[in-house]
Amino acid sequence: MNSIGKLITFEGGDGVGKSTQAKLLVQKLSDLGKKVKFTREPGGEKIGEEIRQILKNSQNIDPVCETLLLFAGRRDHFIKLISPWINQGYFVICDRFYDSSLVYQGILKEVPINDIMKLKQIAVGDFEPDFTILLDASIDVSMQRMFARKITNDDEYDKMDRQKHELIRKGYQKIAEIFSFRYAVINAEKSEKTVFAKVWKALENTIIDGD
């Protein structure tokens, strides 16, 4: 009988190293002979990538409209990639999932959390990530990294002031408490190697259980 795969998600504010750590995990799993796929949100599939570009290039988009677009892309992503991959026994490593909507659209832009959860139910039902890594760094560190990588002034989120970045950080900490059964909070201020060692330690038992 084929084993069922798992979804491992990476969350956190901009500049904390989600993409880097997610790809390091993909490489580690691949080196161990595991079946693994990497994807991201918004994006992953054609519709999601198109929605990503729409949101990136839009000015002053209504928060509810933004939320609806994100969940439309999430639904397409889930039914076309994430769910089939999991059913085929893959570890699916995803850079952001629906938790990001709870923080960015819910906590930051004040779209009612209950409405977001209704959309979540429509898009993916009762499905939840098997494990979520929250990479947490001070606003000074994350903003310094953003400037160093020249990823600022790209869209409205890159242009946010310090207060909004802090609201996002605190929002993620709150979400991690609510979903503590599947969350590990990792200090992301150290070197990539040091941070990944902590990521792997948090996930190792989950990965072993998946054999």
Position 132 scores a pLDDT of: 97
| pLDDT band, very low/low/confident/very high, at 149 (cuts 50, 70, 90) | low
Instruction: Please compute Rg for the chain using Cα positions.
Output: 16
The domain spans of the chain are 6-209
Q: How many residues does the chain have?
A: 211
Ramachandran region, residue 189 (left: φ > 0; alpha: ψ -120 to 50; beta: rest): alpha
Q: Is the pLDDT of residue 155 over 80?
A: no
Question: Is the overall model pTM greater than 0.85, yes or no?
Answer: yes
Locate the DSSP E strands across 112-155.
131-136
Residue of higher predicted confidence among 87 and 150:
87
Position 142 scores a pLDDT of: 83
Spelled out in words, what is the top-level CATH class assigned to the domain 6-209?
Answer: alpha beta
The residues, ordered by sequence, that sit 6+ positions from 32 with a Cβ below 8 Å of its Cβ are none
Position 1 scores a pLDDT of: 39
Position 151 scores a pLDDT of: 52
The residues, ordered by sequence, that sit 6+ positions from 184 with a Cβ below 8 Å of its Cβ are 131, 132, 133, 134, 199, 202, 203
Position 145 scores a pLDDT of: 78
Q: Is the pLDDT of residue 169 over 80?
A: yes
